[in-house]
Amino acid sequence: MYAWMPNDPAAPAEFPALPLPYGLHAALLERVGPEAAARVGGLVRPSLEIGPDVPVEEPGWTPVGRTGGPAALPEEFDWPEGDGHPMELLAQLDCAAMAKAFRAGSGGHWPLPAEGLLLFFHDSMPADLDGESCRVLHVPAGTPERPAPPDPDGVAPLAGRPVRARWALSAPSYLDDELAALLPGDHLAAMGVSDDFGEHLGTPVIRLLGWCDSHNTTRPDGHRPLLQVEGSAVDAAWGELVNVSVWITEEDLAAGRFDRVRHGLEVA
C-alpha cells in the first residue's frame, strides 16, 4: 500500500507525485506529525537501484550494462588517468536501457541522455581529496571496447560484472541540508526521519541518481549524487575505502554536462 506524496520541489515539473510506502508514511506521521511528514515525504527522489549478478528470471529488473571490464572508448579518447596511473572503470551503463527501467517505475522525466553509454571512471588512490579524481564520459552505443592500459604498480582493473536495474525511491540523510531545513532546530527528529527512510527504503549496493545513502561520504558542496558504488558490489580491493560516488550539480544534470563531476569517498 502506498501514500502519494508531492515530489522534491527541485525536480522538473514533469515528475508526477511519488508513491511513498504506507509503512514509511505511517512512521513519519508518528515521528513528526502530519504537516512535517508531508514536507519531508515530499523530498523523496526517484532513482535506479542497480544490482550485480541479478538472476535473469528475477522479475522487474532490466539489463543495463556492467561494472568494470573494458571500456567503449572512441579512438580520439584517451583512457582517463589519475596521478600517473589509469583510472578504474566503475561502470559502463546503457542510457536507453536505464531510461526504460526508470520509466517503468515512475513514469516521469528521465534526466540523463536517452541514447548512448555513460562511462564512470574514478581514481581509487587519489593523490589529494579535491574531489576531481573521477570522470564521466558519454559515448555512442556500439563504440568498440578496449581494455585498460597497464598500471605501473601492477594494479589489476575491475573485472566485468553484468548489472540490472529497477526503479527505486531514494531519500535524504540527516546530513542533507534539505531535510534539516524542514525540521529546524530538531536534529534528533532529522536523525529519526533519516532512520525511517533507511529502514523502509533500503540501501542498494549501487544507486544511480537519488540521494546519498552513506552518512560518512564526503559531500561536494552544491552537488547531488549521480552514481554510488559499494566496493563489495564490484569486488574492489580498495582497502579502507568502502564506497565511492560521483556527484553532479543540478545545472549540469539538466544540461547533460559531465565534465565537472566530483568524487565522493567513504572510508571505513
CATH number of the domain where residue 254 is located: 2.30.320.10
For residue 83, CA distances in Å to 64, 129, 196, 220 come to 30, 12, 41, 20
- Structural domain harbouring 12: 2-267
For residue 184, CA distances in Å to 53, 174, 177, 187, 266 come to 42, 11, 10, 8, 27
For cell 527504503, the residue is 201
Q: Which three cell numbers stand for residue 224?
A: 547531488
User: What integer pLDDT is reported at residue 125 of this predicted model?
Assistant: 78
8 A C-beta contact, residue 209 and residue 169: no
Helix (H) or strand (E) holding 21: strand 18-21
Whole-prediction pTM: 0.89
User: What integer pLDDT is reported at residue 171 of this predicted model?
Assistant: 94
Query: Which parts of the chain have pLDDT scores under 50?
Result: 1-2, 4-5, 7-8, 10-16
For residue 186, CA distances in Å to 26, 189, 198, 209 come to 20, 5, 19, 27
Say whether 98 sits in a helix, a strand or coil.
Answer: helix
In this structure, what are the phi and psi dihedrals at residue 199, rounded to the nearest 5 degrees?
-65, -40
Q: How many domains does the chain have?
A: 1
